[in-house]
């Protein structure tokens, strides 16, 4: 007696619908890596930052400041605001208050008047006055060069502390902002769900010789080339190394030193 033939699995048992349904489009996946690990070899990472260094040997932050204190205040004010918008507000503020003592004497109301064009200005004015008082009371009016001390100040988080340590004290810190978080994940340089995860991986992989300016190179690359909405791949000097599935070309832009940076102006 012959055995019954198995059912034809190409047809759905539910009225054969699967045989007539169109195949689902396959979404292009990002390159895989070990969780939280860079997709790039040490040699590739070195080459990425070597090229950034050729482009901008001495990159600079775009927040105007005259000393460590005004830098700290500017970075605190920059949360959820553009550098251009902060610069517009702080020019008048720093002209009359460039120390904690002068800022405290100015008072919260007048500080608020100066920064009214910045988002969350009321809360930021309170923080500026409070951190000025804390610097006077605990640090003799000086900005401390220690992360643990900085994050104790009102309005100062890890990113702000890292910016100040890098720019004012020359420390090899990595402040992860929205641009760096995006690049770290988009191109697989330092995948991570949080700024802390991306920071840890970048610090692990970036050669020490490039760590001093790595923060600014990545920010500028994200701000002007690897943009949020549409990356400008033809203008990218690492297009041949980049492993992003979004890239539109593998031909790198000419590697030349760029013109000196201009501080962004706000009308």
Report whether 226 belongs to an annotated binding site.
yes
**DSSP conformational letter for 29:** P
- The answer to whether residue 11 scores a pLDDT higher than 70 is no
Is residue 159 annotated as a catalytic residue, yes or no? yes
Backbone angles phi, psi at 8, to 5 degrees: -75, 110
The tokens describing 33, both together, are 């890596």
Report whether 236 belongs to an annotated binding site.
yes
**What pLDDT, on a 0 to 100 scale, did the predictor assign at position 36?**
78
- The answer to whether residue 121 scores a pLDDT higher than 90 is yes
pLDDT band for position 267 (cuts 50, 70, 90): very low
In the Cβ-directed half-sphere of 180, how many Cα atoms lie within 13 Å? 23
Question: pLDDT for 63-96, tens place per residue?
Answer: 999 999 999 999 999 998 999 999 999 999 999 9
Mean pLDDT of the chain: 88
Helix ranges (DSSP H) in the chain: 42-55, 68-77, 83-96, 100-106, 108-114, 121-139, 147-150, 158-169, 178-186, 195-205, 208-224
Q: Which of 56, 51, 53, 34 is nearest to 241 (CA)?
A: 51
CB 97 within 8 A of CB 103: yes
pLDDT band for position 265 (cuts 50, 70, 90): low
All domains of the chain in start order, with CATH: 42-58+173-235 (1.10.1670.10), 68-169 (1.10.340.30)
**What pLDDT, on a 0 to 100 scale, did the predictor assign at position 34?**
61
Q: Which of 198, 203, 166, 158 is nearest to 181 (CA)?
A: 198
CB 89 within 8 A of CB 115: yes
Report whether 242 belongs to an annotated binding site.
yes
The residue annotated as part of the active site, out of 126, 177, 232, 240, is: 177
Question: pLDDT for 194-208, tens place per residue?
Answer: 999 999 999 999 999
Question: pLDDT for 150-161, tens place per residue?
Answer: 999 999 999 999
Percent of the chain with pLDDT over 70: 85
**More confident of the two residues 32 and 262:** 262
The residue annotated as part of the active site, out of 3, 159, 227, 240, is: 159
Backbone angles phi, psi at 149, to 5 degrees: -75, -40
CB 61 within 8 A of CB 70: no
- The answer to whether residue 20 scores a pLDDT higher than 60 is no
**More confident of the two residues 246 and 34:** 246
Is residue 177 annotated as a catalytic residue, yes or no? yes
């Amino acid at each position: 007696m012959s055995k019954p033939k198995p059912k034809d699995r190409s047809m759905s048992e539910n009225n054969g619908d699967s045989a007539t349904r169109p195949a689902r489009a396959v979404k292009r996946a990002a390159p895989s890596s070990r969780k939280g690990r860079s997709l790039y070899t040490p040699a590739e990472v070195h080459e990425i930052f070597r090229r950034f260094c050729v482009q901008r040997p001495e990159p600079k932050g775009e927040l105007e400041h005259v000393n460590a204190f005004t830098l700290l205040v500017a970075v605190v004010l920059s949360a959820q605001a553009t550098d251009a918008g902060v610069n517009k507000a702080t020019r008048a503020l720093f002209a009359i208050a460039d120390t904690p003592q002068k800022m405290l004497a100015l008072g919260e109301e007048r500080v608020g008047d100066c920064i009214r064009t910045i988002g969350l200005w009321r809360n930021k004015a309170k923080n500026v006055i409070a951190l000025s008082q804390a610097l006077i009371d605990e640090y003799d009016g000086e900005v401390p060069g220690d992360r643990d001390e900085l994050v104790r100040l009102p309005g100062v988080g890890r990113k702000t502390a890292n910016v100040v340590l890098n720019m004012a004290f020359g420390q090899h810190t990595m402040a992860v902002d929205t641009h760096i978080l995006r690049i770290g994940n988009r191109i697989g340089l330092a995948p991570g769900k949080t700024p802390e995860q991306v920071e840890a991986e970048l610090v692990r992989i970036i050669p020490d010789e490039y760590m001093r300016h790595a923060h600014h190179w990545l920010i500028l690359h994200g701000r002007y080339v690897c943009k949020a909405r549409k990356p400008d791949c033809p203008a990218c000097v690492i297009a041949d190394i980049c492993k992003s599935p979004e890239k539109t070309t593998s031909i790198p832009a000419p590697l030349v030193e760029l013109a000196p940076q201009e501080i962004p102006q706000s009308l």
